[in-house]
Amino acid sequence: MGSLANCRRRSQATTERVKVDLNADVGESFGVYHAGDDDHLLASITSASVACGLHAGDPSTMRRTVRKAAHAGVAVGAHPGFPDLVGFGRRELAATPQEVFDFVLYQIGALQAIAKSEGVRLQHVKPHGALYNMSARDKAMAEAIARAVAASDDSLLLIGPPGSELLRAGEAAGLHVVAEAFADRSYESDGSLTLRKFADAVVLDPSEAAARALRIVREKKVVARDGSTVDVNVETICVHGDTPGAAAIAAAVRAKLEDAGVTVRALR
Amino acid sequence: MGSLANCRRRSQATTERVKVDLNADVGESFGVYHAGDDDHLLASITSASVACGLHAGDPSTMRRTVRKAAHAGVAVGAHPGFPDLVGFGRRELAATPQEVFDFVLYQIGALQAIAKSEGVRLQHVKPHGALYNMSARDKAMAEAIARAVAASDDSLLLIGPPGSELLRAGEAAGLHVVAEAFADRSYESDGSLTLRKFADAVVLDPSEAAARALRIVREKKVVARDGSTVDVNVETICVHGDTPGAAAIAAAVRAKLEDAGVTVRALR
Amino acid sequence: MGSLANCRRRSQATTERVKVDLNADVGESFGVYHAGDDDHLLASITSASVACGLHAGDPSTMRRTVRKAAHAGVAVGAHPGFPDLVGFGRRELAATPQEVFDFVLYQIGALQAIAKSEGVRLQHVKPHGALYNMSARDKAMAEAIARAVAASDDSLLLIGPPGSELLRAGEAAGLHVVAEAFADRSYESDGSLTLRKFADAVVLDPSEAAARALRIVREKKVVARDGSTVDVNVETICVHGDTPGAAAIAAAVRAKLEDAGVTVRALR
Amino acid sequence: MGSLANCRRRSQATTERVKVDLNADVGESFGVYHAGDDDHLLASITSASVACGLHAGDPSTMRRTVRKAAHAGVAVGAHPGFPDLVGFGRRELAATPQEVFDFVLYQIGALQAIAKSEGVRLQHVKPHGALYNMSARDKAMAEAIARAVAASDDSLLLIGPPGSELLRAGEAAGLHVVAEAFADRSYESDGSLTLRKFADAVVLDPSEAAARALRIVREKKVVARDGSTVDVNVETICVHGDTPGAAAIAAAVRAKLEDAGVTVRALR
């Protein structure tokens, strides 16, 4: 009896541990330009990071995206980026920390108001593209982002790479931070993502991405490009919205996780 | 005794009536570009309408402007405009009501977050330039703006011209609306502003602007270009931030009003 | 003998008459955003109007597009539009004629330099979207465009709707003007295009578009929405690059015309 | 006798050597935003570098600036920059060489057409801000710029810092290159400019700037911040258009040079 209770507790504890959020970037269309397969992605993910108009997205796209996410029961977050529309926020820009603070706050606020008008409260913030990459290693930029998130709503979760300056800055700013791994990106043995210039940087095969996701959740590990094993301890798994076949990858990841008994649900 | 009480009531009523807000557009700089004499304007006005990045302003300018306004004890509002930076939001654009709703909401939200980070809550919204002029007469555009204001924060005041579609739409949306007159603009006999193409459209003489402001407050009247008298019943008087000598005009208006016993204070 | 010569002359004249240019808008991608099926369109058309960065297109897209067009043996022209990226240049903007002159000249020049670097000389200019529609009826705007074209290179052809202010202004400016008809748009009995808000404004069926094109070339007529017949005398036929299935329509139009013995070739 | 001939030759050589161009950035206004004192600057300089719309300037400002320069007898060149309006092109951006080639070509072409419409042929190209600084040391970026200049018009002069990758790339591309020094900037002992973060980076005193300019022209030397002497061999001297009091500095430099018998004239 005692052992059964123990077993139950253990099982429950295990069950509690085996849950994960599945996030993707959405709302990256602009004006007449269509980007990403949001409708299908939203059927599989649990958290959506919405572009805020400076690197992608526009006010009308933002509203439509929030509405769709809410309709699909997907949590919504802000996905602020560099003010570089033609470069899609992927080019490093020597912005000052103060400028970063200001334009991140601006983007979060714009989405907050649009979300509010759709009856949605933002769950998280995740920087986009070069801003994500730079703030992972640049302390001053990381702090600027963390302060902007805290200033807009200190209950917002801050998503970033595990062990990054961004998450350290988020914690220092009193935010709840959330580490993420990528189901559709290859890793190096030091835990960094394989640079996109390498052919195998992106995992395009849905079943491979799904297998990687499951291993990340269950074993907290990924196999790096060189065959070594890297520890990853994360609460959310990202599928890039702009990877070709993103919706199919997200669907495969979700199915694989749920088939394995993992609870896939939003962060909050 | 009864007559004394009556007198007191009347006097009190009079006192209550003789107060007004003095507003100006500020924060219209962009990047390295400096526009307007905000520092001096803020010393005289009681409400500041801050550009939100689509026709003027940028996130860093917005933050600095809100901070300065707060420091000067001036109430802050949003001044959304058309997405037309090179045209400063002064050119009519055939945007749909839905687009207007979306980009007005976007701009208000962006400023709300920045204001919150400075410990400031927005007092009002006032459309800028061509958006102001078009929404004064275009019901669908007016409704789009009013809905956007209500969706972002239904306690926000909506400022517009007296008798305009904008104020009607604001009321219909359940907003408190505030009619404004211009101390530094000439009027036509039908109550409309003299078009800027006429030489005497703008009142540049501080003492004349001050005299007009006092008459608007005390007598609720302005003398039109043709000499006729027009009724104006407003709660706020605008001095354009970009009129040459705007700060001197605002200072003269404020001094004249206060010398005459008018209470100049923010709307809320 | 004389009659044989006459016959030959007549036949030759007939042959000379039955030729037409087939044009489409291309290069409307922007940054990471892909628009239009340029690769397939370029296989069927003979003149390409390239977006110049203010309503669509960017410097890199422009270069790639010119290169592709040159490779496909397609003549290249400039497709300047309003500075309204989020609105794709489709929204009317109250720009002054001087502003229009300046930004049209700017866009043509930018494309001229890029074309020159690819060994291509521009053949024509055709305004885009709202600029096309407004300049068809607004004389001052039409003159501004015509003057900008003439100022950049007075050998450039100016394409516009038959009977428009644009073509009149072009002729007055000493330009060779080219009237165009649309294979994929429905007409009203007055010769104007059916507004896009009507369901049947766009002809999506390739064989119907092809039949219309042939009738335009052979009979110089289109059947309007109300069944009446409208005269059209044009030298070029447009297939919109952003109509769904544009490439299939262009291919069908070209095949139909060539099968009927029409020579499809660029304007110059 | 021989000594007299030698003396004459030397004198002649000296006379030939003692001439210089005086350049400044102009046309940096944007829309309603006014920047720089172009009218006064143009009275003193001999070459004007005109902003081309991506970091500053707009089509209408470009036309007005070219017209003013032509009226003042000042040679005109293109001043292309990064596509970063809010950052005024001063922030480093990780653009690829191909992107740089494309947007530099775009900007030169736009100005060429506008200049042509004013009867002006461009004399030179000089990159702006971060593009200038990066291309001074980044070979790939320098080559991209040089190729873009050569592609647009291989008779255009390319202005850059002496000994820079930019000038090397220009020479390799077959361009005539022109080294420049700054009258209003402080130098380090290695010949680089003192970073703007130092208080004495900018020389604001007109007479000091003038003295530096004369020494640069006559002795081909500047005194660095640490008192050491640096060799500079240049054909043009720059006065920044956005230095406070730029017009007064330019006037003082020109007067000093001409009083000393130096011929101040455009490069071509």
State percent of chain C over pLDDT 70: 94
B28 within 8 A of B242, measured Cβ to Cβ = yes
Q: Do D109 and C114 touch (CB under 8 A)?
A: yes
Range with the lowest mean pLDDT among B188-192, B241-245, C125-129, D106-110? B241-245
Domain range annotation of chain A: 18-264
Evaluated on CA atoms D135, D136, D138, D139, the torsion sign reads positive
Other C-beta atoms closer than 10 Å to the C-beta of C71 total 10
Of the candidate ranges A92-106, A244-258, B247-261, C1-15, the one whose mean pLDDT is the lowest: C1-15
DSSP state of A11: H
* Number of cross-chain residue pairs from B and C with Cβ atoms under 8 Å apart: 29
On whether any CB of chain C is under 8 Å from the CB of A85, the answer is yes
pLDDT of residue B267: 97
Residue B85: list chain D partners with CB under 8 A: 30-31, 85
Question: Of B30, B100, B114, which to mutate for an interface test with A (greatest number of A Cβ within 10 Å)?
Answer: B114
At residue B17, the pLDDT reads: 56
What value does the mean pLDDT take over residues C137-159? 98
pLDDT in tens, C178-228: 999 999 999 999 888 888 888 888 999 999 999 999 999 999 999 899 999
Q: Is the pLDDT of residue A41 over 90?
A: yes
pLDDT at position A17 = 58
**Partners of residue B33 in chain D, C-beta under 8 Å:** 30, 33-35
Q: Cβ separation of B109 and A111 shorter than 8 Å?
A: yes
Q: Name every chain A residue with its beta carbon within 8 A of the beta carbon of D131.
A: none
* CA–CA dist A68, B116 (Å, integer): 28
For the whole model, what pTM was predicted?
0.94
pLDDT given at position A252: 97
| Mean pLDDT value across residues B4-10 | 45
Given CB atoms, is C87 within the 8 Å cutoff of chain B?
yes
Contact D31 B58 (CB under 8 A): no
Q: State residue D17's pLDDT score.
A: 56
Residues of B in contact with A106 (CB under 8 A): 53, 59, 62, 110, 113-114
Answer yes or no: do A63 and B114 touch at CB < 8 A.
Answer: no
Q: Determine the average pLDDT of the residues in B232-246.
A: 88
A54 neighbors A83 (Cβ within 8 angstroms) = yes
- Asked if C87 has any chain A CB less than 8 Å from its own CB, the reply is yes
Instruction: Residue C87: list chain B partners with CB under 8 A.
Output: 93, 95, 99
Distance CA D6, CA A87 (A): 61
Instruction: Give, to the nearest 10 degrees, the angle between helix B165-172 and helix B129-137.
Output: 80
Mean pLDDT for the stretch of residues B100-129: 98
User: What residues of chain B lie within 8 A of the CB of D34, using their CB?
Assistant: 33
Decide if C195 touches B, using CB distance below 8 A.
no
- Looking at per-residue confidence, does A85 or B196 come out higher? A85
Residue of chain B whose alpha carbon sits nearest to that of D61: B86
Nearest residue of A to residue D90 by CA position? A94
Q: Which fold has domain C18-264?
A: TIM Barrel (3.20.20)
CB contact under 8 A, A117 and B105: yes
Q: What is the mean pLDDT of residues D171-180?
A: 98
Q: In this complex, is the C-beta atom of A30 within 8 Å of any C-beta atom belonging to chain C?
A: yes
- Are A32 and C35 an interchain contact pair (Cβ–Cβ within 8 Å)? yes
For the ranges A8-12, A146-150, A224-228, the one whose mean pLDDT is highest: A146-150
Cβ-Cβ contacts under 8 Å for B71 (sequence gap 6 or more): none
What is the number of residues in chain A?
Answer: 268
Tokens 């050589």 belong to D13
C-alpha to C-alpha distance for A135 and A149, rounded to whole angstroms:
13
Q: Taking CB atoms and an 8 Å cutoff, what residues of chain B touch A151?
A: 113, 116-117
To the nearest whole angstrom, how far is the Cα of A56 from the nearest Cα of chain C? 10
Does residue C243 have a pLDDT over 90? no
ipTM of the shown complex: 0.93
> In the numeric block, which tokens belong to residue C227?
């069944």
C99 and D CB contact within 8 Å: yes
Distance, CA of B35 to CA of B28 (rounded, Å): 6
Chains that touch B (3 or more CB pairs under 8 A): A, C, D
Q: Write the pLDDT tens digit of every residue in A112-143.
A: 999 999 999 999 999 999 999 999 999 999 99
**Residue D206 confidence (pLDDT) above 90:** yes
The proportion of chain D whose per-residue pLDDT surpasses 90, expressed as a percent, equals 85
Q: Tell me, yes or no, if C242 comes closer than 8 A to chain A by beta carbon.
A: yes
> Distance between CA B221 and CA B230 in Å, rounded?
5
Among A216-225, B156-165, C209-218, D6-15, the minimum mean pLDDT is found in D6-15
